[in-house]
């Protein structure tokens, strides 16, 4: 079984369990967004600056690996024409539930972002790509496909992990933090079968990606980096962020 199929199964399980990233927006949140009162995250805690989006009214937006009924409904409420592409049918079903509940249309596409995107050249004005490429081994094809399907002047909004987080154990107290793994982190090659199965159960198959791969990868695909920020998530689930940011977000433009 391919690693993306394993991650598909993992995300379907997590979606059925109702983890944080599979809890759809409430009717109240959607109604507020319709009135222009909304915020949205590419990472875990910091909200994306509104000027990163430009005018969303009537714009064609691709939610790339961002299903779950959280971000794309907000983009719809803000006036965008949204297509959602994700590998997990469980997450996509959450999008369908919200769309039916709120009475709007959203184009739902089940597809693997490691393969050619099922869209025409220059089809979208904006791509919203929250933290998710940590579940992919090779990012170069993704950046190239993002560039291909965006219109000239189109915007790529991406969230991604700080690779340093994969160097440490999952500690619950500062005194328990240990440096345990060199970079790059690749669960397909770095562990035996028994260890890998435990990793799959807990975290899915995730891969560290250097900032060179993330940022330079976008630049080499043809994008111009426009803005960037760090996310220090200080809640109990992210102890390491006491010491360094665990997540980043970038705004890139196709020229």
Give the tens place of pLDDT for each residue, 4-42.
Answer: 999 999 999 999 999 999 999 999 999 999 999 999 999
Q: Please check the confidence at residue 244 and state whether its pLDDT lies above 80.
A: yes
**pLDDT at residue 154 above 90?**
yes
CA 91 to chain centre: 13
Q: Looking at residue 140, what is its pLDDT?
A: 98
Q: Does the structure show a pLDDT above 80 at 97?
A: yes
Q: So what's the pLDDT on residue 1?
A: 79
pLDDT for residue 234? 75
235 has pLDDT over 90? no
State residue 156's pLDDT score.
99
What pLDDT, on the 0 to 100 scale, is given for residue 242?
87
pTM of the model: 0.97
CATH superfamily for domain 3-254: Vaccinia Virus protein VP39 (3.40.50.150)
| More confident call, 216 vs 172 | 216
Percent over 70 (pLDDT), the chain: 100
Question: How is residue 69 written in tokens?
Answer: 């009924």
Residue 185's pLDDT is: 97
**What ranges do the domains of the chain cover?**
3-254
pLDDT one-digit tens code per residue, 116-136: 999 999 999 999 999 999 999
Question: For residues 85-114, b (16+ Cβ closer than 10 Å) or e, as one string?
Answer: bbbbebbbbbbeebbeebeeebebbeebbb
Res 113: pLDDT? 98
Summarize pLDDT for 159-213 with one digit per residue, the tens: 999 999 999 998 889 999 999 999 999 999 999 999 999 999 999 999 999 999 9
pLDDT of residue 33: 98
Give the mean pLDDT of the chain.
Answer: 96
CB 106 within 8 A of CB 84: yes
User: What DSSP string describes the chain?
Assistant: --HHHHHHHHHHHHHHHT-GGG-PPPHHHHHHHHTT----BSSSSSBPPGGGT---TT-EEEEET--SSSSHHHHHHTT-EEEEEES-HHHHHHHHHHHHHHT---EEEE--TTS--SS-TT-EEEEEE-S-GGG-S--HHHHHHHHHHEEEEEEEEEEEE-GGGGGB---SSGGG--B--PSSP-TTTSS-HHHHHHHHHHH-S-----HIIIIIHHHHHTEEEEEEEEE---STT-GGGGTS--EEEEEEEE-
pLDDT at 190: 94
């Amino acid at each position: 079984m391919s690693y993306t199929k394993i991650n598909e199964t993992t995300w379907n399980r997590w979606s059925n369990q109702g983890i944080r990233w599979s809890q759809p927006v409430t009717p109240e949140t959607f109604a507020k967004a319709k009135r222009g009162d909304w915020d949205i995250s590419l990472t875990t805690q910091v909200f994306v600056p509104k000027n990163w989006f430009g005018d969303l009214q009537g714009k064609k937006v691709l939610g790339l690996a961002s299903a779950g009924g959280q971000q794309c409904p907000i983009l719809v409420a803000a006036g965008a024409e949204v297509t959602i592409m994700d590998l997990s049918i469980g997450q996509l079903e959450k999008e369908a539930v919200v769309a039916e509940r709120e009475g709007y249309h959203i184009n739902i596409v089940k597809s693997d972002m490691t393969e050619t995107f099922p869209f025409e050249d220059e089809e979208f004005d904006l791509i919203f790509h929250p933290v998710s490429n940590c579940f992919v081994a090779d990012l170069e094809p993704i950046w190239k496909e993002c560039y291909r399907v965006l219109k000239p002047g189109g915007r790529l909004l991406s969230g991604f992990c700080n690779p340093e987080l994969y160097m440490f154990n999952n500690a619950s107290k500062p005194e328990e933090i240990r440096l345990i793994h060199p970079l790059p982190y690749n669960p397909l090659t770095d562990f035996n079968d028994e260890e890998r199965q435990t990793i799959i159960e807990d975290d899915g198959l995730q891969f560290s990606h250097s900032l060179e791969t993330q940022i330079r990868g976008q630049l080499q695909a043809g994008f111009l980096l426009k803005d960037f920020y760090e996310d220090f998530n200080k809640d109990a689930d992210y102890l390491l962020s006491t010491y360094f940011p665990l997540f980043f977000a970038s705004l890139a433009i196709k020229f």
